[in-house]
Structure 1
Amino acid sequence: MSIPSLTKTSAISLEKITGTAPGLIDTYRSAEATLRNIDLLGLRAAVYLVLDRSGSMRRFYNDGSVQRLSEQALGLAAHFDDDGIVPLTFFSTGVHTHKVRRGLLHRSEKTIDLSLDNYQGRVGAIHNGLGHMGRTYYASGMEAVIEHYQQSKTTAPAFVIFQTDGAPDDKPATTKLLKEAAKLPIFWQFIGFGNDPFAYLRSLDDMPVPAARIVDNAGFFAAGDNPSALTDNHLYSQLMGEFPKWLKAAREQGILR
């Protein structure tokens, strides 16, 4: 096992977090400790957050669990990405789009920026403005991430936190897309809220390599019925459980430079 480096630096400093997002100081420090322990402090990556907005998710928006996850995503992104932004996508029966002003025009976007200077209560505010909560279709949310990532032209890998509370209604499309996406520098970390057994997500996690996909590009963990009660340290250790192995495999296969 390699000895964690003490010289590698985060994309955004603690000083900047203190000045810009003091509410995230503890979260930032927990993420730093986790990354240092697995020798990933200093890695640059784009962090995405995909949130389930199906009808059964209502209580997790109401009790603050989803907002808390968004803050934990920002705490991680501050180490990986110097823009301090997490592209956020909501999905249910399809992707929920947002009207975003670009100059004098308002355009419909599949992602919205969650930033260090604009995150408090943000998820709930956006959620409340999106209207009907539909069913559960993963593929549209995954496609929105892939589209955004490819348009960004970055050469850094993407780490996607994909949150849901149950199996999708589009299993064949999701499975096919995950297999195809294994060729891309994108890692999908699924996180389950609630008491569902998550048999389907576990099957994605265990999909064989190389029979079904070129590398293992997905991880999964169940956060239980009270996700906001998880400590930052526990959450980050779970989020980072398989990412280092994917980085190594993706480099070996030429997916990452």
Structure 2
Amino acid sequence: MDTVLRTAPGLAGLYRKAGDALRAQGLAGRRAAVHLVLDRSGSMRGHYRDGSVQHLAERVLALSAHLDDDGTVPVVFFSTEVDGVCELGLDRYRGRVQELHGSYGHMGRTNYHLAMRAVLDQHRASGADVPALVVFQTDGGPSSRAEAEKALRESAGLPVFWQFVGFGEPAGRGFEFLRGLEDWPAVDNTGFFPAGRDPRALRDEELYRGLTEGFAAWLDRARAAGTVR
């Protein structure tokens, strides 16, 4: 808490709420590498403009401050390709998402699989010996369902949990793919949390519950299977 107060006092309230959520899930003191994936498909333009993406990023950063000692969150922006890879830090986060988004130019399609492989490359390159919690934000299904399914199957059994966060109508057809993940018996390292059409209106406590509940349940299964320590 001292580091957050000293380096990022604007996140102190979020840091407390994130800690409450972790304690509620039995995750207090747990170490994990937190990654953030941000959708830059064309339909996301409004969510960047109104600050919803920056809003989410700040909450993920506050959560990461509990789980990861280095105070940074690796970020992958994706659309048709991986548009950019960067880090958010406690010492530089205000307006950072909008700044980076504006520098990446054209907004394209929604190729999940390229972002997923970029995250796995990041996690391997870091040499981290802790599991990864990947907050994967999107406003719709993958442009290539077959490639997304392949990437998910390739990650099954790895110490990586994909927590998808949907921006948009929760019951919309665009989220059929993500809603259906719970029916995949061979892939149990995913969760889907719908943040709604106005993610900024979501209570922080509800968001943090959505980001940690599935991760906690997966960690129990993964420890039992020997995937994580």
Category of TM-score, reference length = shorter chain: over 0.9
> Matches of residues 25-104 of structure 1 in structure 2 within 5 Å?
25-97=12-84
Which residue pairs with 2:114 in the alignment? 140
TM-score between both structures, scaled by the size of structure 1: 0.86
1:164 aligns with 2:151: no
Does 1:253 pair with 2:211?
Answer: no
SS of residue matched to 2:104? coil
Task: Write the distance in 2 (CA, Å) between the matches of 1:136 and 1:243.
Answer: 24
Cα offset, 1:182, TM superposition:
1.2
Distance 1:29 1:244 in 2: 18
Residue deviations 1:176-230 (CA, integer Å, cap 9, x gap): 111120121000000100123411111123312xxx23xx100001111100111
Q: Does residue 204 in structure 1 map to residue 204 in structure 2?
A: no
Q: Which structure has more helix as a fraction of its residues? A: 2
Q: Distance in 2 between the 1:145 and 1:45 partners?
A: 14
User: Number of aligned pairs?
Assistant: 226
Cross-structure match for 2:3 = 16
Residues 77-112 of structure 1 show CA distances to partners (whole Å, capped at 9, x for unaligned) of 000011000000000001013xxxxxxxxxxxxx21
For normalisation by structure 2, the TM-score amounts to: 0.96
> Any stretches of 5+ residues in structure 2 without a counterpart?
none
CA separation in 2, counterparts of 1:152 and 1:234? 30
Q: 1:228 maps to what in 2? A: 200
Q: Which amino acid aligns with 1:171?
A: R
2: CA distance, partners of 1:200 / 1:230: 23
Structure 1 Cα separation of the partners of residues 78 and 146 of structure 2:
17
Q: Could you tell me how far 1:58 is from its partner in structure 2?
A: 0.3
| Inter-partner Cα distance in structure 2 for 1:113 and 1:136 | 21
* Cα distance in structure 1, aligned partners of 2:67 and 2:213: 16
| Structure 2 residue aligned with 1:11 | none
- Following the alignment from structure 1 to structure 2, what is the Cα–Cα distance between the partners of residues 49 and 57? 16
- The percent of aligned pairs where both chains have the same amino acid is 52
Cα RMSD of the aligned pairs, angstroms, is 0.9
Q: Where in structure 1 are there 5+ consecutive unaligned residues?
A: 1-13, 98-110
Paired AA for residue 46 in structure 1: A
Residue 183 of structure 1 aligns to a residue in which SS? Answer: coil
Could you tell me how far 1:167 is from its partner in structure 2?
Answer: 0.8
Contact 2:25 2:213 (C-alpha < 8 Å) held by counterparts: no
Q: Residue 72 of structure 2 contacts residue 88 of structure 2 at CA under 8 Å; is this kept in 1?
A: yes
Aligned counterpart for 2:147 among listed residues 173, 179, 191: 173
SS across alignment from 1:128: helix
Structure 1 Cα separation of the partners of residues 59 and 115 of structure 2: 20
- The residue identity in structure 1 corresponding to 2:42 is G
SS at 1:160 equivalent: strand
Secondary structure of the residue aligned to 2:200 is helix
* 1:191 aligned to which of 165, 168, 171: 165
